[in-house]
């Protein structure tokens, strides 16, 4: 079931960033239990893996995850278009092109943040994906890379993709330093520049712009929304302290009345899923690794993490209840 564009756009008001090795289908199922409105993103999947490697199992997801977007990595328009069509057939609500990841493997594959240097290629890829599919095509980018001046290159980049039919973009408010900084360092060392995101919104009022980078709380997210930014994408904070970020998102960000749900309720709601996946051969630790930060800052959080970290890899679903007893 692909959502209509208006419902999907509502979800874009707050989204969870695509994060390699983190936002897999188990993580997304877990996050969806805490908010029915947030827009979820897959880990990046390369177009080469899907088209040449035939790794379509990477596209599997649960229907409950909607609205959910597929992030693609690549720079070959023909291959990306085929991958986007596959994503649409699998039922994703959006296809997002990765022009923001600064990792070494991304640079060597000619995709990710290095593509900020060739906006015409990005535009060609987007134009062909927009033409070939009926779902939303978006771009996630940085404000620039290396020695680029964001005030010069970012407007040109946004103009290119807008002319290609892209109507929504997520901008990480840092440069990517491709020579000299590791991927981890690129998430923290380049200074945040929120001001330029606001400037881009003024220059491109018809473009839906989401801000990403350094957002650690819903209060911070709401402040940017109140000041005219269209959407907020949260990454590590949502993964490391999911309860704090997601349990109040529907009420605070989407203005929806919700029944009060606590972290313990989420664990209990996860149990049928964990049991089902375990019966299908999935180790409990593959799922619970995404849940370690659920009780962050609460009494018993340390015991919860310790039991799951040390035992979930060799235990059945019952280990989750044992860990839960630490916080009850």
Quickly tell me which residue has 């994906």 as its tokens.
129
pLDDT digits over 134-175, tens only?
999 999 999 999 999 999 999 999 999 999 999 999 999 999
Q: Which residues contact 157 (CB under 8 A, 6 or more apart)?
A: 116, 119, 122, 141
Q: Are 292 and 271 in contact (CB under 8 A)?
A: no
pLDDT digits over 269-304, tens only?
999 999 999 999 999 999 999 999 999 999 999 999
Q: Which residues contact 317 (CB under 8 A, 6 or more apart)?
A: 271, 274, 275, 278, 284
Residue 108: predicted pLDDT: 54
| DSSP per residue, 52-76 | TS--GGGG---GGG-SEEEEEE---
C-alpha pair distances (Å), 295 with each of 37, 181, 291, 306: 22, 32, 9, 12
Mean pLDDT of 50-74: 96
Question: With bands split at pLDDT 50, 70 and 90, how would you rate the model's confidence at 105?
Answer: low
Does 35 score more than 80 pLDDT?
A: yes
d(CA 97, CA 138): 6
Which range (29-43, 247-261, 311-325) has the least confidence? 247-261
d(CA 222, CA 228): 10
Edge-to-edge strands, sheet with 94-99: 14-16, 231-234, 208-212, 168-172, 136-142, 94-99, 68-73, 40-46
> Rounded to 5 degrees, what are φ and ψ at 16?
-105, 125
Mean pLDDT of 189-193: 90
pLDDT digits over 12-31, tens only?
999 999 999 999 999 999 99
d(CA 287, CA 24): 9
Instruction: Establish whether 126 is a catalytic residue.
Output: no
Residue 1: predicted pLDDT: 47
d(CA 63, CA 90): 10
C-alpha pair distances (Å), 210 with each of 40, 133, 179, 183, 198: 14, 22, 27, 21, 10
pLDDT digits over 197-250, tens only?
999 999 999 999 999 999 999 999 999 999 999 999 999 999 999 999 999 999
Question: With bands split at pLDDT 50, 70 and 90, how would you rate the model's confidence at 97?
Answer: very high
Output the pTM of the full model.
Answer: 0.94
Name the nearest CA neighbour of 319 among 311, 327, 294: 311
**Given the residues 27, 101, 125, 141, the one annotated as active site:** 101
Question: With bands split at pLDDT 50, 70 and 90, how would you rate the model's confidence at 7?
Answer: low
Domains, the chain, in order of start with CATH, read 5-252 (3.20.20.70), 263-327 (1.20.120.1460)
Residue 61: predicted pLDDT: 96
Residue 182: predicted pLDDT: 79
Mean pLDDT of 118-125: 97
For residue 202, count other CB atoms closer than 10 A to its CB.
Answer: 8
Q: Are 30 and 290 in contact (CB under 8 A)?
A: yes
Contacts for 316-319: CB closer than 8 Å, 24+ residues apart: 316/278, 316/284, 317/271, 317/274, 317/275, 317/278, 317/284, 319/284, 319/288
Does 8 score more than 60 pLDDT?
A: no
For residue 118, count other CB atoms closer than 10 A to its CB.
Answer: 15
Give the rounded percent of residues in the chain with a pLDDT score beyond 70. 95
The secondary structure of the chain in percent helix, strand, coil, rounded to multiples of 5, reads: 50, 15, 35
**Maximum Cα interatomic distance, the chain, rounded to a whole number of Å:** 56
């Amino acid at each position: 079931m692909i959502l209509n564009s208006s419902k999907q756009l509502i979800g874009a008001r707050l989204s969870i960033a695509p994060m390699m090795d983190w936002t897999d289908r188990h993580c997304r199922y877990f996050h969806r239990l805490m908010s029915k409105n947030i827009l979820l993103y897959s880990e990046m999947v390369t177009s080469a893996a899907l088209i040449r490697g035939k790794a379509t199992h990477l596209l599997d997801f649960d229907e409950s995850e909607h609205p959910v977007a597929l992030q693609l990595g690549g720079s070959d328009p023909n291959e990306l278009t085929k991958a986007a069509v596959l994503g649409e057939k699998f039922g994703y609500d959006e296809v997002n092109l990765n022009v923001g990841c600064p990792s070494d493997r991304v640079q060597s594959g000619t995709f990710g943040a290095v593509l900020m240097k060739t906006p015409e290629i990005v535009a060609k890829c987007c134009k062909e994906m927009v033409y070939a599919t009926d779902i939303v095509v978006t771009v996630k980018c940085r404000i620039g890379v290396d020695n680029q001046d964001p005030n010069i290159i970012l407007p040109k980049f946004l103009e290119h993709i807008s002319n290609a039919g892209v109507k929504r973009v997520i901008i990480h408010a840092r440069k990517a330093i491709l020579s000299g900084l590791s991927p981890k360092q690129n998430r923290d060392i380049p200074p945040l520049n929120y001001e330029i995101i606001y400037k881009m919104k003024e220059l491109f009022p018809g473009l839906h712009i989401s801000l990403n980078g350094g957002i650690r709380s819903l209060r911070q997210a709401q402040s940017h929304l109140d000041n005219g930014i269209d959407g907020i994408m949260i990454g590590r904070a949502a993964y490391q302290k999911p309860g704090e970020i997601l349990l109040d998102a529907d009420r605070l960000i989407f203005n929806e009345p919700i029944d009060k749900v606590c972290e313990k309720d989420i664990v209990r709601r996860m149990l049928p899923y964990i049991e089902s996946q375990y019966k299908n051969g999935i180790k409990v630790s593959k799922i619970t690794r995404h849940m370690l930060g659920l009780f962050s800052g609460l009494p018993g959080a340390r015991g919860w993490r310790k039991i799951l970290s040390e035992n979930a890899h060799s235990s059945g679903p019952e280990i989750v209840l044992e860990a839960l007893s630490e916080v009850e």
